[in-house]
A and B are shown apart, each in its own frame.
Chain A
Amino acid sequence: MSHLLEVRDLEVKFALRSGDITAIDGASFTLDPGERMGLVGESGAGKSVTGFAIINLISKPGFISRGSIHFEGNEISAYSPARMRRIRGNRISMIFQDPMMTLNPVYTIGFQMIETLQAHRNISKAQARAIALDKLQKVYIPSPEKRLSQYPHELSGGMRQRIIIAISLLADPAIIIADEPTTALDVTIQAEIMDLLQELCENEKMGLILITHDLGVVSQVTEKIAVMYAGKIIEYGPTETVVHHPVHPYTIGLIGSIPGTIEPGKDLKQIPGMMPTLTNIPPGCAFNPRCELAAEICTQKTPVLEEKQNGIMAACHMK
């Protein structure tokens, strides 16, 4: 029990006027130093909320209602705001989805980098600047010196995402949580950013939680996968095994729908129906209305995540 990060039975609820709704329902996973994990699922499955819950930055009216988040030997889910701040951007960094919206438009890149370092370390501006330059070089930004005095709107989307990665590296964190880091970028830039993230994590021995709906990306970059559906982790295991021998019917459907996993000329598979909204989750297994294998038990009893085969954990009655 010496994982870098251990999330156990995490439950996140949103307090609405009509009552609380559950966005994440008992998610558990671990991350070791330097390990890269993919958090996969459709929009609204709870991937991003899981990411934000780790650094306790869920948008209101969301809150962690149950479960534990163990990080570097401490239970951080109950940390005070002041103690939590010392983890955010310092031990655990985040990369957001849209680099065009993430940087503050009225401050220079240098300002936004230096303030981050000075928030966590007692160092001078000049020292912080030197570290910022070093990190900009690490993410292969051309003429980093010049970038420090530039404003976000003077840079392209890909460049901005590199800068955000550089910001996330500033304090040498143990974990980077990347929330769909390439969704807003061109396909060519996407590959570059992903390669960069993978390289940095390997070189700096950083853990990575990659939140995405793109199974292709996950299979290239990560070592293990957690697949989320309607707020639950329904399959969890080594990337290799999950991609080639998935267990849960939902994961099978997801992988079947990727172009390139199927013989050319054949139709791509589709999962019929839509993921239920959080206010309208069916009883039993949330996937049962869309599942080919669904039997009576699936509508009555909620399956638990348990070891199935090849080291994969899955939540399914039929396997």
Chain B
Amino acid sequence: MFAFIIRRILQAVVVMLVISLVVFAIQKEFGDPVRDLVGERVTPEERQQIADKMGLNDPFFFQYARFVKNAVTKGDLGRSFLYNKPNLEVIINHAPATIELVLGTALIIMVLSLPLGVYCALKPRSWLSRFTMSFSTLGVSMPVFLTAILLIYLFAVHWRILPSYGRGETVDLFGNGIWMTGLLTIDGLKHLILPCISLSTLMLPLFIRLIRSEMMEVLETEYIKYAWAKGLSPRRVWLVHAFKNTLLPVITVFGVQIGIMFAFTLLTELVFQWPGMGFMFLEAVNRADLSLLIAYLVVVAALFVVVNTVVDILYGFINPTVRIAGTK
């Protein structure tokens, strides 16, 4: 198991290196740090001098190595001229809002999709299953911004029971000003509800359908028939024997989807004026803050890789065949 974890982490490092290389190449191609720094009114000779001083004329891989070294040792991902702060600091300030949004959404998806998916697989002809399946088609086909606006109209404007935008009241989680959380105040939680629901409408139907079809497939297998032949109770056959095998593929997809969700918060954050990374990204695009965009890409990629690595390791704990392959 230990060897498997080490291997998986090494893979993650390689993936991060490749991503950073691509991102760095984009920056080299489209950005001009000298212009960002001094503007248009400087002679070409002076530009050349500054570029030399900044190491911009060094060989490509030399510069790349420096970029990686700075990023790893000092956490230096460049500086945002929009906020006039280091990029990493800007992103870290915006990250908690997005992370809490994604966590809340993931929670909603898990709590609803598991029981609903399993139920739809066990009782495909029941009234609730049919309703869930047709409703989930609707959920998949509705764009997020439409769902979000509909939710705001109903809950914030019409019934006036939930707030329509912002994070509401936040408190400092660690007392050092980095993580402002909305999870610990009633007001913060209230503000979280609508954005989480609207973000979850995108993936919830997918997961209900995935769990349902996986479970139905597992129920047809020989080992489930054998479990019946051993005289086990339906509860045990379904929830112990079938459920764990259903979870295997679902966990992998869940990991990827959580990663993707960090990117999908864009629209939701825009509609709900949610001060997260997606909102920040849109601002950076509007103001052409290339340096910040690049840093954002690196951080989102890192989040994606970390989530997937954790999920894969978790998967190894559940699926014994993976573990064997890892130790050999």
Q: Point out the residue from B228, B231, B245 that lies within 8 Å of A86, measured CB to CB.
A: B231
Q: Which residue of A lies closest to B234 (CB)?
A: A81
Q: Report how far A85 CA is from B237 CA in the complex, Å.
A: 12
- Inter-chain contacts of B236 with A (CB < 8 A): 115, 119
How many pairs of A and B residues are in contact by the CB < 8 Å rule? 75
Instruction: Verify B221–A101 contact, CB threshold 8 A.
Output: yes
B:296-328 near A, CB below 8 Å: 318-321, 324
Contact A89 B231 (CB under 8 A): yes
Pair B230/A89 contact, Cβ less than 8 Å = yes
Contacts of A116 in B (CB 8 A): 230-232
Closest to B244 in A: A106
Chain B 232-258 per-residue mask, 1 if CB under 8 angstroms from chain A, else 0: 111010001100110010000000000
Contact A96 B231 (CB under 8 A): no
Flag whether B226 is at the interface (Cβ < 8 A): yes
Q: Closest chain A residue to B248 by CB distance?
A: A106
Q: Which residue from B228, B233, B320 sits with its C-beta under 8 Å from A106? A: B320
Known: A106-B318, A119-B231. A96 touches B245 (CB 8 A): no
Closest to B320 in A: A151
Q: Considering the complex, which residues of chain B in the window 56-110 have a beta carbon less than 8 Å from any beta carbon of chain A?
A: none
CA distance A116 to B241 in the complex (A): 12
B225 close to A (CB within 8 Å): yes
Interface code A159-182, partner B: CB below 8 Å = 1, 0 otherwise? Answer: 000001001000000000000000
Do B230 and A103 touch across chains, with their CB atoms under 8 A apart?
no
Which B residues touch A89, using CB under 8 A? 229-232
Q: Is B40 among interface residues, defined by CB-CB distance under 8 A?
A: no
Given contacts A98-B222, A103-B223, A104-B245, contact A88 B228 (CB under 8 A): yes
Q: Does B227 contact A (CB under 8 A)?
A: yes
Cβ–Cβ contact B226 & A102, under 8 A: yes
Q: Are B324 and A154 in contact (CB under 8 A)?
A: yes
The answer for the CA separation of A116 and B228 in the assembled complex, in Å, is: 10
The interface on chain A, measured as residues whose beta carbon lies within 8 A of the other chain's beta carbons, has a size of 30
**In angstroms, how far is the closest chain A Cβ from the Cβ of B222?**
4
Q: Does A87 contact B (CB under 8 A)?
A: yes
The answer to the question of A317 belonging to the interface, with a C-beta cut-off of 8 Å to chain B, is no
Instruction: Choose one: A57, A107, A120, A164; the contact of B228 (CB below 8 Å).
Output: A57
Q: Is A288 an interface residue (CB 8 A)?
A: no
In the complex, chain A residues 93-119 whose Cβ is within 8 Å of any chain B Cβ: 93-94, 96, 98, 101-107, 115-116, 119
Q: Tell me, in angstroms, the Cα distance from A167 to B222 when the chains sit together.
A: 15
Does B231 contact A87, Cβ atoms closer than 8 Å? Answer: yes
Q: Most B CB atoms within 10 A — which of A89, A102, A104, A167?
A: A104
Interchain residue pairs A-B with the least CB separation, the first 6: A89-B231, A89-B230, A88-B231, A101-B222, A151-B320, A94-B229
Residues of B within 8 A of A (CB): 221-223, 225-234, 236, 240-241, 244-245, 248, 318-321, 324
- The interface of chain A, by Cβ under 8 A from chain B, is 55, 57, 59, 81, 85-90, 93-94, 96, 98, 101-107, 115-116, 119-120, 151, 153-154, 164, 167
Known: A104-B226, A106-B319, A153-B320. 20 other contacts (CB 8 A): A57-B229, A59-B225, A81-B234, A85-B231, A85-B233, A87-B231, A88-B231, A90-B231, A93-B229, A96-B229, A101-B222, A104-B223, A105-B245, A106-B318, A107-B244, A116-B230, A116-B231, A119-B236, A151-B321, A154-B324
